[in-house]
Amino acid sequence: MATLDHALAHTAPRPTGVVGWITTVDHKRIGILYMITAVVFFIASGILALLMRAELAQPGLQIMDESTYNQAFTIHGTGMMLLFATPLVAGFANYFVPLHVGAPDVAFPRLNALTYWLYALGGLVVFSGFLTASGAASFGWTGYAPLSDSTYTPGAGVDLWIIGLILVGFSSILGAVNLMATIFGMRAPGMTMFRLPIFIWNMIVTLALIMFSFPVLTAALAALFIDRNFGGGFFDPAQGGDPILWQHLFWFFGHPEVYVVILPFFGVVTEIIPVFSRKPLFGYRGFVFATLLIGAYSFTVWAHHMFTTGSVDNPFFSAMTMLIAVPTGVKFFSWIATMWRGKLRFQTPMLFTMGFLFMFLIGGITGIFVASPPIDLAVHDTYYVVAHMHYVLFGGTVFAMFAAFYYWIPKMSGRMMGERLGKLHFWLMLLGFNVTFFPMHQLGLDGMQRRIPDYLPERGFDTLNALSTVGSAIVAMSILVFISNFLLSMKKGAPAGDDPWGGNTLEWATTSPPPHHNFRSLPPIVSERPVFDARHGVHGDG
Amino acid sequence: MAEELRFFLRSALFTILIGTIYWFLSYEETGSILLAGVVASSAFFVLVVGAAVRAARSGRKTPRSLLGFAEGPEDRPLILDEDAFPSGSAWPIVGSVAAMLVGLGLIYGGWLWIPGAGLALAGAWGWLAEER
C-alpha cells in the first residue's frame, strides 16, 4: 500500500489528446463526453423543431413536404427524449455520482466507456436514417403499430431507428447497473444511505426505473424489428398479434422514462436551493420517501397515454396518475419551505431553478387535467398535450439542465460562467419558452391536431402559430447566448476556486476541476452535507 | 436490514400489491405480466444486493476494495494499491463498433457480421487480457 500521491505517480501514463479522450475510462471525462454528445443531439433535434415551427408559422406548405415533416417530428422526439435528455442524465451522473459519494471512479470504468460508445454510435445510427433513400423514421417517437410496420413505413430508415435505439437501450441498462453498483458499493466511510445527497437518492430511483423499464423498450424494439423483417406478427392482427400490445410495452417504458429525465433534475435543484438559500433542506427524509413513491407510482400509470384506445381500465390509471401529484407536491413544499426565510441569492443557477419550479408546476397542473379521461378524450393528440409535455420536459429538464450547468461548470472547468450573459440567457429562454408553448394550450383547446404540417386558414390557428414560431426563435437565440457565454468563460472566466458557491456536498471538497480519481482527502461525513459541516465545524448528526 | 436491501424489497412489495389490484380490476394480461416482471426484477436485486451486503459484512471484498481503495486510520487520507487505477482502454470502443456492425448487418446483410464478430472477439480478448 502507498499514499494516493505515490500511487498516482506510479500509475501508467494516460494517453493524451484525441486518443486520450477516445480511450478514456475516467468517469469525469466520460461524463463530459456524454454531456457534449447529448448537447449536440439537443441542438440537432432543436434545429428540427425550428424547421417545424417555421413550417407551421402560416397555413400551407412552405419549406418541407408532409413526409419530411413526419421525419422531422419523429427524430425530434426521439432525439430529445432518448439521445439528449436520458444521456444528459447519464452525463451528470457519470461526473457527479462518484464525487458525491466520495469514490475515486465508478465501479466498472471500462464498462462505463462501453456504455458511452454504445450510446454515441446508436445515436448516429438513428440520425443516419436521413441519409437513406426512404428517409428517416416517420411515425412519431412513439413508434405506434401498425404505422411502424413494413407496410406503412418501409425502408431502411426505420430499421436504423430500431437498431440505433436498441444500442442506446443496452447502453442505458449497463450504465444504470454500473452507477447503482457505484452508489451501493463505493460510498466513502461514514456515508450511510441516509447521509447520501438528495441528488444521489434521486439517481438511485432513476437507475432503478432504467433497469426495470429499458429492457421492456429494448425487447419491444426487437419484436418490432422481427415483425418488419422476419414476419414475426407480434403487432399484426392478421397473424394473431395485437397493435395495442406495442402501446402497452412502449408506455410501460415511456412513462417511467418521463421520470428518468426529471427525477435527476429534481435532485439537482434540491442541491441548488439549500445552497442559494443558505439553509438546510427542509424535510430530508420526507423528500427521500417522496422520491421513492414517485418512482413506484411511475410504473402504475402507463396506460393514461392509452385512455382513448378504449381497451384499458381508465379509472384505475386516472386515479394512480392523480396520486403521483401527492409526492410531487411534497417536494414542492420542501423546496418552498427551504427557501422560506432563507438568505436567497439569485445568481444564474438559482434563476434557472426558479424557472424550473414555475414551468414544471404549470406542466404538472395541466397533467392533472389530462389525467381525467373525459378531458383527455377531448384534447388527446392535440396541441394541448404538446404544450403540457413541453412544460414538463422543457420547463423541467431543460431549465434544470441549465441550472446544473451554471452550478457545476465551475467545478468541471475551474472557471466561473459569466453572470451577466447567464442572466440574459435565462430571461430570453423564459420569455421564448412561454411565447412558444403557452399559446399551444389554446391551439389544442381550439382543436389543432399535433403532427400535421398544415392547417386551413379559416380555422383561425395562424396568429397563435406565428406567435409560437417567434417564441421558438427567441429560445434559439437564448441557446446561442449560452454557447457564447460558455466559450468566453472557458477562455476568460474568473477562476472558480474549490467551492465558489459555499456548497454542501463532497464535490466541493476537492479541486476545480477534480484531480484524476477525485480526492486527496475527504472530510468526515456525519450528515448529508459534509462540506457544510467541515466549514462550520459540525462533528455529529444534525 | 441494510437500506439498499429495503429499497428493492419495498419495490417488490409495492408492485405485488398494485399488480394484484390491477389484475382483479382489469383482468388485462400484458400490464399484469409487466408488473410481475417488475416484481421478479426487484426480487432478483434483493438476492444480489443481499449477497453483496453479506459479503461486505463478512469482510470479503466489496467493489470499493476491488478497485484498490482501502481506508487508512481515521478513514483518511485515502490509500490505494499502486496498480489500482485502470489507464485508458481502446477495447470499449472496439466492442461498441462490433455491436453496431452486428446490428447493421441485420439491415444491410450478414457480411457485416464478419468484421463485427472479429471486432467483438478482439474486443473481448483485449478487455479480459488487459492488466489494468
The string of DSSP codes covering A342-400 is ------HHHHHHHHHHHHHHHHHHHHHHHTSHHHHHHHTTBHHHHHHHHHHIIIIIIHH
Instruction: Please state the rounded mean pLDDT for residues A316-323.
Output: 96
Domain of B22 in residue numbering reads as 3-61
Interface contact flag, B31 A303, Cβ < 8 Å:
yes
Q: Could you tell me which chain B residue has the CA closest to the CA of A118?
A: B96
Higher pLDDT, A11 or B55: B55
pLDDT class of A168 with cuts at 50, 70, 90: very high
Q: Which contiguous run of DSSP H or E holds residue B78?
A: strand B78-80
In the predicted structure, residue A11 carries a pLDDT above the cut 80: no
Identify whether B19 is part of a domain: yes
Q: Could you tell me which chain A residue has the CA closest to the CA of B15?
A: A296
- Neighbouring CB atoms inside 10 A of A151's CB total 10
A185 touches chain B (CB under 8 A): yes
Q: Are A423 and A390 in contact (CB under 8 A)?
A: no
Q: Do B48 and B9 belong together in one domain?
A: yes
Distance from CA of B111 to the nearest CA of A (A): 17
Lowest mean per-residue pLDDT among A480-489, A506-515, A521-530, B33-42: A521-530
Indicate the residue of B21, B38, B79 with minimum beta-carbon distance to A4: B79
Kindly give the pairing relationship between strand A2-3 and strand B69-71.
unpaired
C-alpha cell at A433: 419558452
Q: Are A236 and A227 in contact (CB under 8 A)?
A: yes
Instruction: Please state the rounded mean pLDDT for residues A363-388.
Output: 96
Indicate the residue of B30, B56, B127 with minimum beta-carbon distance to A248: B30
pLDDT, position A2: 38
C-alpha cell at B35: 408488473
Q: How far is CA A160 from the centre of its chain?
A: 23
Q: Average model confidence (pLDDT) for chain A?
A: 94
Identify whether B74 is part of a domain: no
Interatomic CA distance for residues A144 and B110, integer angstroms:
28
Indicate the residue of A2, A24, A114 with minimum beta-carbon distance to B96: A114
C-alpha cell at A109: 470504468
pLDDT, position A12: 56
pLDDT class of B63 with cuts at 50, 70, 90: low
CA atoms within 13 A on the CB side of B86: 27
Identify whether B77 is part of a domain: no
ipTM over 0.85: yes
Number of compact structural domains in chain B: 2
Amino acid, res. A114: L
Interatomic CA distance for residues A41 and A164, integer angstroms:
14
Indicate the residue of B21, B35, B88 with minimum beta-carbon distance to A23: B88
In the predicted structure, residue A444 carries a pLDDT above the cut 50: yes
DSSP per position, A296-325: HHGGG-GGGGGGGGS-S-HHHHHHHHHHHH
Which residue spans within A197-262 are E strands per DSSP?
none
Domain boundary among B18, B44, B61: B61
Q: Which chain A residues have a beta carbon less than 8 Å from that of B34?
A: 216, 248-249, 252
Query: Over the range A401-426, which residues count as b (16 or more CB within 10 Å of their CB) and which as e?
Result: bbbbbbbbbbbbbbbbbbeebbebbb
Instruction: Please state the rounded mean pLDDT for residues A481-497.
Output: 96
Interface contact flag, A117 B64, Cβ < 8 Å:
no
In sequence order, the β-bridge partners of residue A449 are A382
Interface contact flag, B26 A20, Cβ < 8 Å:
no
pLDDT, position A503: 95
Distance from CA of B118 to the nearest CA of A (A): 17
Q: Which chain A residues have a beta carbon less than 8 Å from that of B22?
A: 300, 313, 316
A319 touches chain B (CB under 8 A): no
The 3-class secondary structure across A100-150, one letter per residue, is: HHCCCCCCCHHHHHHHHHHHHHHHHHHHHHHHCCCCCCCCCCCCCCCCCCC
A191 touches chain B (CB under 8 A): no
Lowest mean per-residue pLDDT among A190-194, A452-456, B14-18, B62-66: B62-66
Q: Do B56 and B100 belong together in one domain?
A: no
- Neighbouring CB atoms inside 10 A of A231's CB total 10
Q: Do B53 and B10 belong together in one domain?
A: yes
pLDDT tens by residue, B96-126: 999 999 999 999 999 999 999 999 999 999 9
pTM for the complete prediction?
0.94
A219 touches chain B (CB under 8 A): no
Amino acid, res. A57: A
- Neighbouring CB atoms inside 10 A of A477's CB total 16
Interface contact flag, A25 B82, Cβ < 8 Å:
no
A12 touches chain B (CB under 8 A): yes
In the predicted structure, residue B35 carries a pLDDT above the cut 80: yes
Identify whether B84 is part of a domain: no
Identify whether B81 is part of a domain: no
In the predicted structure, residue B65 carries a pLDDT above the cut 80: no
Give all domains of chain A, ordered by start, each with its CATH number: 22-235 (1.20.210.10), 262-496 (1.20.210.10)
Domain boundary among B42, B61, B80: B61
Of the candidates A20, A25, A137, A42, the one whose C-alpha atom is nearest the C-alpha of residue A87 is A42
pLDDT tens by residue, A405-438: 999 999 999 999 999 999 999 999 999 999 999 9
SS3 content of chain A, % helix, strand, coil (to 5): 70, 0, 25
Indicate the residue of A12, A160, A189 with minimum beta-carbon distance to B87: A12
Q: Which chain B residues have a beta carbon less than 8 Å from that of A8?
A: 85
Q: Do B15 and B55 belong together in one domain?
A: yes
Identify whether B25 is part of a domain: yes
C-alpha cell at A462: 395562424
Q: Which chain A residues have a beta carbon less than 8 Å from that of B25?
A: 313, 316
Indicate the residue of B77, B107, B130 with minimum beta-carbon distance to A159: B107
CA atoms within 13 A on the CB side of A353: 26
Interatomic CA distance for residues A148 and A217, integer angstroms:
15
∠ CA A5-A10-A16, nearest 5°, is: 100
Residue showing cell 439542465: A401
In the predicted structure, residue B85 carries a pLDDT above the cut 80: no
Between residues 269 and 298 of chain A, which touch chain B (CB distance below 8 Å)?
292, 295-296
In the predicted structure, residue A360 carries a pLDDT above the cut 50: yes
Q: Are A384 and A441 in contact (CB under 8 A)?
A: yes
Instruction: Please state the rounded mean pLDDT for residues B74-82.
Output: 44
pLDDT, position B45: 93
Indicate the residue of A110, A208, A249 with minimum beta-carbon distance to B86: A110
pLDDT tens by residue, A244-276: 999 999 999 999 999 999 999 999 999 999 999
In the predicted structure, residue B68 carries a pLDDT above the cut 60: no
pLDDT, position B75: 43
Q: Which chain A residues have a beta carbon less than 8 Å from that of B56?
A: 185
C-alpha cell at A538: 459540525
Q: Which chain A residues have a beta carbon less than 8 Å from that of B38?
A: 212, 299
Between residues 478 and 537 of chain A, which touch chain B (CB distance below 8 Å)?
516-517, 519-522, 524
